Structure 1
Amino acid sequence: MDKIAVLIPCYNEEKTVEKVVRDFKAVLPEAVIYVYDNNSSDRTVELAEKAGAVVRHEYMQGKGNVIRRMFREIDAEVYVMTDGDDTYPAEFAREMVDKVLEHQADMVVGDRLSSTYFTENKRPFHNFGNSLVRGTINRLFHTEIKDIMTGYRAFSYQFVKTFPVLSKGFEIETEMTIHAADKNMQVDNVIIEYRDRPEGSESKLNTYSDGAKVLMSIAKLYRNYKPMNFFGLLALVLAVMSIGFFIPVLMEYIATGLVPKFPTLIACGFAMMAAIQSVFAGLVLSAGAQRSRQEFEMNLIKVDMHYKELKENDR
């Protein structure tokens, strides 16, 4: 088992990957640097190997697929995940590692948004999107995480081996954050500096399509992790609509004794029935979510025992 593993998912990062590997080797000389290539068509692999990284491959396209492969294959006491585009300075890695090793953090978030992100990043919609996602998740899940979508993080062994990677693409950071919040795992923030990509290095993110995927991912995860809240809100909306359209029909019936808008009355009835069904769906799924949390805690105990065995074997 490695003491520290630095994980760098890469897709066509020949302009920056060599520098990123060398920077992290300088800051964390005891770490093993892993570069996972995701079907690059340039010299990413060659330059990563030249810089001293262990290069492996994931042939299913997408950052989520790469991270799934990393988490399955590597055992370490602490993991540092960063991007290969040289936007995250390596000098903050030691503080993030110490948060895991000495303060029992399960996930440490490299917080760009509290420092230089909004001045360095030249894409205004990305700035807006990061703020929107941060505000939405912190309100929905009652957290105080400062940067939801940062790619610079540190993890404990227990987090990595109990995190079910479901996302295939850039929604993975959002999924990590919500998983940690729902499972009551310790999340610490470390303020980092952010620098924009160097000239000639192109982002793989599509502002609109990837942003839409992230928002859809938040809605799905909220439904799965907080089903009573999700379906309760849906029931409230349906009930308000039903009552809102029913009141004029009722008032006219009181005044004239007639119901000339039978289709509206029928629609109101169906909407109210759907609201009641939503409440019961939320109750049933909430019981399932509670059971899932209990199973997670039992699995966490097993993972922790395995972690201790690995450390003993290394000694």
Structure 2
Amino acid sequence: MDKIAVLIPCYNESATIAKVIADYRAVLPEATIYVYDNNSSDGTDKIARAAGAEVRYEHRQGKGNVIRSMFRDIEADCYLMIDGDDTYPAENARDMVGKVLDDGYDMVIGDRLSSTYFTENKRPFHNTGNVLVRKLVNSIFGGNVTDIMTGYRAFSRLFVKSFPVLSKGFEIETEMTIHALDKNLALISVPVDYRDRPEGSVSKLNTFSDGFKVLKTIGRLFKDYKPLPFFGICAAVLMIIALLLLWPVLNEYHQTGLVPRLPTFIAACFMALFSLQTFVCGLILDTQSKKSRQNFELQMTILQGMGSDEK
């Protein structure tokens, strides 16, 4: 088992991968550097192998699929994940790894947004999107994370082996952060410099389609992790609609003793019934969610014990 594993998911990063490997080997000479090639067509794998990295392959397209394979395959005490596009300087790597190995954090987040991201990033709408995602996640899940979508992170073995990877693409970073917040794992942000991609290196992130997937992931995890607030909001909306439909019917009944809008009255009653059913669903799922958290804590204890035995 490695002490430190540097994980680099790659798709067509031939322009930068050799420099990235060299930079992180200089800062972390004791680490094993893994490059997972995700169907590159520009020789990224050959360049990475020549630079001294251990190259493996993931043929299912998408960053989430790559990280799933990385987390399953590699055994280490500390995992440092970076992108292969040379946007994250290596100077912070030792500090981030130290916060896992020495200070006991489960996830260390390389925070771009508190340093140079807003001036270095040249792609339109990315700055706005990052701020929107940060505010949504922190408000829904009660966090204070300063950079949700960064690709520069360090993880403990406990986090890696207990994290269920469900996302297939770039929304994986959002899923990691929400998982850590929901499960009350120890996480910390470290400000890191960010530099825009060098000339000849092209981003694979689609601003709108991938941004929509990230928002969809936040909504899905809100429903899964906090079902009572999610279904409570849905129930409240349905009840408000029911009351708006019912009010003029009741007003006419009070004045005339008649119910001339019978279809509206029936629709309002059904809407109120749906609201109550939705709220009950939230209560049931909330109980299951709490049971799931209890099982997760037991699994974490077992994993912790297994890790101690291996040492």
Q: Normalising TM by the smaller chain, what interval?
A: over 0.9
- TM-score, normalisation: structure 1: 0.97
For 1:109, the equivalent position in structure 2 comes to: 109
Q: What SS does the corresponding residue of 1:56 show, helix, strand or coil?
A: strand
Query: Where do 1:175-214 residues align within 5 Å?
Result: 175-214=175-214
For 1:264, the equivalent position in structure 2 comes to: 264
Q: What SS does the corresponding residue of 1:124 show, helix, strand or coil?
A: coil
For 1:8, the equivalent position in structure 2 comes to: 8
Q: Which runs of 5 or more residues in structure 2 are unaligned?
A: none
Query: Where do 1:10-159 residues align within 5 Å?
Result: 10-159=10-159
Which stretches of structure 1, 4 residues or more, deviate above 3 A after TM superposition?
A: none
Counterpart Cα distance in 2 of 1:116 and 1:270: 53
Q: What SS does the corresponding residue of 1:122 show, helix, strand or coil?
A: coil
Which stretch of the first structure deviates more once superposed, 151-160 or 260-269?
Answer: 260-269
Alignment RMSD (CA, Å): 0.8
Instruction: Give the Å deviation of 1:254.
Output: 1.1
Counterpart Cα distance in 2 of 1:280 and 1:214: 28
Counterpart Cα distance in 1 of 2:63 and 2:129: 19
The one-character-per-residue Cα deviations of 1:228-284 (angstroms, maximum 9, x if unpaired) are 010011001111111122111111221222222222211111111111011110111
Q: What SS does the corresponding residue of 2:165 show, helix, strand or coil?
A: coil
The one-character-per-residue Cα deviations of 1:139-184 (angstroms, maximum 9, x if unpaired) are 0000001100000000000000000001111110011011101111
The one-character-per-residue Cα deviations of 1:11-69 (angstroms, maximum 9, x if unpaired) are 00000001000000001111000000001001101110111101000111110000000
The one-character-per-residue Cα deviations of 1:116-139 (angstroms, maximum 9, x if unpaired) are 111111123111111000000000
For 2:250, the equivalent position in structure 1 comes to: 250
Counterpart Cα distance in 2 of 1:18 and 1:128: 32
Q: What SS does the corresponding residue of 1:166 show, helix, strand or coil?
A: coil
Paired amino acid for 2:9: P
Q: Percent identity?
A: 61
Q: Which runs of 5 or more residues in structure 1 are unaligned?
A: none
- TM-score, normalisation: structure 2: 0.99
Q: What SS does the corresponding residue of 2:34 show, helix, strand or coil?
A: strand
Paired amino acid for 2:186: Q
For 1:307, the equivalent position in structure 2 comes to: 307
- The number of aligned residues is 311
